[in-house]
Amino acid sequence: MSDAAPLIAVDILTGFLGSGKTTLIRRLVEGGCLRDTAILVNEFAALPLDQRLIALSGGSARVVGNGCICCVVDGSVRDALIDLAERRASDEIPPFSRVLIETSGIADPAGLVATLALDRRLKPRFRPGRVVTLIDLVEDETPIEAISPEALSQIVCADLIVLSKADLAPAASPDAIMRRVTGLNPLSQIVVDDGLLDPFDRTAFPEAPGRPQPGRSFIAAPAAPRHDAIRSGVLRIAGPVDWQAFATWLSLLAHRHGGKLLRLKGTLTLSGGDGRPVLVQSVRHIVHRPEHLPADSAPDGLELVVILRDLEPALLQRSLEAFLRAGRVPALSATG
């Protein structure tokens, strides 16, 4: 790469668990808005599910880091960016003019922003782009910034805040959430997602010259990762699963234990079904609409990523197995 080559903007898409980051990327890919963009996806959990979903939308994303981006930013994220730049320079991959990083839902993006601005090896090739933070309008009683310090940092770091899932939100909620979020980050623009929005479109959302450049106002050593109480794991059941029994288990679980069940997503094949896997997702107390995926796009049986607070994945595995056997949700006690 010559010295005169323009710096590549690295945009960051962040937002708490289940706020709609992958859904937005899939929509932008399908709408052709990310044609010139290299996509990097970081997941807290062990399965590259978001990468698979982006591929089903016709995009190609590379997974970075095994764990939260705030914990791996100086290692695998930096290496992935350097590798991208080198492969682009040697024509190994199609040219791209920007990079989009989807952080995991419990990542503190401050460290990534600081690394992009300051890292000696990244600075000659990349520049910090914009930080877009999604906030789910379907909130529990507890605001997300009270659930996790990472969620607070996601709001504070944002250049543009997008309020997602407006179709599911009670009519009054955008105003209340907007006021709260403006109090936390008065510099950020806030918009409600209308289903068509492209928050990375520089024409619709120019980088305001009078504002501090992205990241400049928040270059600080990232807080030590604080995921202590948060566990992730993968629940597995071999072979097809009865949909009625599974759906009942999930809705009872989300209803009773949604405060601890921060996120659940994955696929299952159904007994008596047509073989197509079903994508199921829940975000705290809300179970989202399941989606049929094309045949052979996911493993047979059930494979679910769970991200839990103060709850062990093994306990959920036992609960699911017992429910599928007995048709009821056993108490989530230590004895399972």
Ligand X SMILES: Nc1nc2c(ncn2[C@@H]2O[C@H](COP(=O)(O)OP(=O)(O)OP(=O)(O)O)[C@@H](O)[C@H]2O)c(=O)[nH]1
Binding site for ligand X (CB under 6 A): 15, 17-23, 50, 105, 164-165, 167-168, 263, 265, 281, 283, 288
Number of Cβ within 10 Å of residue 84's Cβ equals 22
Closest distance to ligand X from the beta carbon of 136 (Å): 8
**Would you say 249 and 225 are in contact if contact means Cβ atoms under 8 Å apart?**
no
| CB closer to ligand X, 148 vs 185 | 148
Closest distance to ligand X from the beta carbon of 56 (Å): 13
Closest distance to ligand X from the beta carbon of 92 (Å): 28
| CB closer to ligand X, 61 vs 99 | 61
Closest distance to ligand X from the beta carbon of 279 (Å): 8
Closest distance to ligand X from the beta carbon of 69 (Å): 11
CA-CA distance, 122 to 142, in Å (whole number)?
38
CA-CA distance, 45 to 27, in Å (whole number)?
23
| CB closer to ligand X, 73 vs 305 | 305
Closest distance to ligand X from the beta carbon of 335 (Å): 30
| CB closer to ligand X, 78 vs 263 | 263
Q: Which residue is nearest to ligand X (CB)?
A: 105
| CB closer to ligand X, 122 vs 262 | 262
Closest distance to ligand X from the beta carbon of 14 (Å): 9
Cα 90 to chain centroid, rounded:
31
Token readout for 213 is: 């450049």
